Amino acid sequence: MTDPRGLRLLLARHGATAWNEAGRYQGRADEGLSERGHAQALQLGRWLSEETPEIVLHSGARRTAETLARALPQHQATSDPRWHEIDHGEWEGLTYRQVLDQNPEQARAHWADPLHIPAPQGETLLAVAERVQAATNDLIAHYAGRCVLLVAHATSLQVLCCHVFQTPLELYWQWKFDLGSLSCLELYQSGTIINWLNRGYTRPASC
């Protein structure tokens, strides 16, 4: 039997930026939304008109703040940097091909084991998991019985799902969150229910 005071958690990935559209590593770089990203944020707002989020959170990145400002202009939001994208370090601004051409051995090592091997001056997936798991546990502890909207990034949302569904972190990439998409979970102390995942219309792009 589930806890009647479960948390309804709406998960939104930010809208597209020019770097997403160019296939560039973005990470902590603070790019704003592109024209397509603004359109995605407006669509997100239409979907959210069917919901009643009481608490609105984002990572603090410009692209998440701009997504919220377009989608829910009347809502007050709180930023929490624990939800930020993985730090890609020296690779930010580069395409996958540029990374591979500049340092193929280092690139292949990272792609083979992102849990332990970061991009140069970047962050491991284990480090992301540590902060995301702590933030997720805080949501469950503090917002039982509430509806929370979180606007974040591909990797942080994927790691959240690995945590609440107890799937291996190395399979994080199997959780798909398109740009501008909306998902809905119900989190209980006893487990998590999927209401829907990845409601959206965008093509795959880099984080």
Question: Can you tell me the distance from the alpha carbon of 165 to that of 59, in angstroms, rounded to the nearest whole number?
Answer: 22
Per the annotation, binding residues are 13-20, 63
- Render the burial of 69-86: b for 16+ CB within 10 Å, e for the rest: bbbbeeeebebbebbbbb
Residues of each annotated binding site for substrate: 13-20, 63
Which is nearest to 95 in space by CA: 37, 180, 18? 18
